[in-house]
Structure 1
Amino acid sequence: MVQTIRIEAEAREQAGKGAARATRRQGLVPAVIYGAKAEATLAALDPRDVMKELHKGGWQSHLYEVAVKGGVTERCLMRDVQFHPVTDRPIHVDFQRLAPGARIRVKVPVHFIHEDTCPGIKAGGVLNVVRREVEVLAEPENVPEAFEVDLSEAQIGAGLRWSSVKDQFGTKPAIVGRDFMIASVAAPTVVEEAPAAAPGPVEATKQKAPAAGAAAPAKGGKKK
């Protein structure tokens, strides 16, 4: 199951662009925690903590406990991060507060296992990945780190669908009503050589020019 990550935060008293700029001048990243039919909580984060989470990957499916000094500890998801257009540094973070008993919509990455022993790939096939992550509804306590798809028996032409996921952890996919495709083992692409160009028409043999000094053929003269 996904782990809960704790982030220490400072409290912010005011919202708005001016207050956010003032927070950035202090070297912090403004953040807001919203949802669960409660008033939004304003916070300021250490940019190193934000970058640490972004570098991990899969941060949208991680659970966070944001501990605001002098306030409450909020259990939430990191929903959106805004970046400076020039420096690419984070300039704002949105968290979604988790309501008790509610399912959350998250994107869970897909990992393919036993790719080195996959018979279809060993025969020259290619793994064609349709979805590298699957959006699902899950209980906050049961959000998986990743879904696993086993390739140990996949032959060329095999289609790997949602039903191929080894353990779905009680989640429900956002795509309903069909067993959607996640990946397939495609046949190798055969590149056919173009046929050689046909030779052009043979040029008519040119009449040889008469040798020097030779008499030119007589043209129809008068009879003597």
Structure 2
Amino acid sequence: MASKEHKLTAFGRKDEGKGASRRLRHAGRIPAVVYGGGADPVSIELEHEPTWLAQMNDWFYSSIITLAVDGKAQQVLLRDMQRHPYKQIIMHLDFQRVKAGEKIHVKVPLHFINIDESPAGKAADVSVTSELNDLDIVCLPKDLPEFIEVDLGNIAAGDTVYLADVKLPSGVELSHAVSEEHNPAVAVARFVKEEVEEEVAEEVPADDVPAIDQGGDEAAPEGEGESKGE
């Protein structure tokens, strides 16, 4: 699926350093930098709340963003985001400029479709699980998809969908070609019973299973349980 246009607004900043970044965060803003594209790096700032809402979407991480810095628009990709370890705060962002004629290397999420209509999806004792969540791709900016669909409408119990089975959009190629050594599973349809048995086998090693008492009460200590002489 081709990417839609996504926009963010930013403002240039001159104050740099830890102290300046700390003041920005206290004011509800995010320090950031834009680099690449044959131009010098530029320090910028973004409002935290709309940026936080934007980063909750897949496109924030894998799509080209139209970043307007002081009203001047440029095409960028997010290359790094630093979050606070436990607060809902973005600490810093790195954006890379992109050029129309230069290929880019991006991770794009996978979207699995038609699972419920598949033979495996209709079976009560079968579970379809994803083995990969995204793909490393290379393409021109104009060909960058927001995500790549994997149609699982025909997957049946016991089937495995491999990387070689994924249909890539026009103009998109994998960063690493598929080969005998590199063709990982993308999705697998397993019987639920088999999954449970595998999990139990992993969690409870045979050596750790307690012995089962085969019957009778514990043996009475020597001398007990005998009738006393009259």
Do the two structures share a fold, i.e. TM-score over 0.5?
yes
Q: Give distance in 2, aligned partners of 1:19 and 1:77.
A: 25
- Give the 3 Å change call, closer, same or farther, for CA 156–68 of structure 1 in structure 2: same
Deviation at 1:164, TM superposition (A): 2.5
Q: Report whether the alignment pairs 1:146 with 2:150.
A: no
| Higher CA-based Rg | 1
Please report the TM-score for the alignment, with normalisation by the length of structure 1: 0.78
Q: Give distance in 2, aligned partners of 1:201 and 1:25.
A: 72
1:161-191 residue CA offsets vs partner (Å, 9 max, x unmatched) = 2233244332111232423321111233246
Gaps of 5+ in 2: 198-208, 219-225
Aligned to 2:202: none
Letter in 1 for 2:10: A
Q: Give distance in 1, aligned partners of 2:153 and 2:69.
A: 47
1:61–1:106 CA contact under 8 A, matched in 2: yes
Q: Give distance in 2, aligned partners of 1:161 and 1:189.
A: 23
For the residue of structure 1 that corresponds to 2:193, the secondary structure is coil
1:62-211 equivalence runs, <5 A: 62-69=63-70, 72-123=72-123, 124-178=125-179, 179-190=183-194, 199-200=214-215
- Give the 3 Å change call, closer, same or farther, for CA 198–91 of structure 1 in structure 2: closer
Q: Give distance in 2, aligned partners of 1:135 and 1:41.
A: 27
1:93-130 residue CA offsets vs partner (Å, 9 max, x unmatched) = 11011133111122211111111122124332221311
Letter in 1 for 2:52: M
Please report the TM-score for the alignment, with normalisation by the length of structure 2: 0.76
Deviation at 1:89, TM superposition (A): 0.8
For the residue of structure 2 that corresponds to 1:33, the secondary structure is strand
Aligned to 2:9: 8
Aligned to 2:25: 24
Letter in 1 for 2:170: F
Between the aligned residues of both structures, percent identity stands at 29
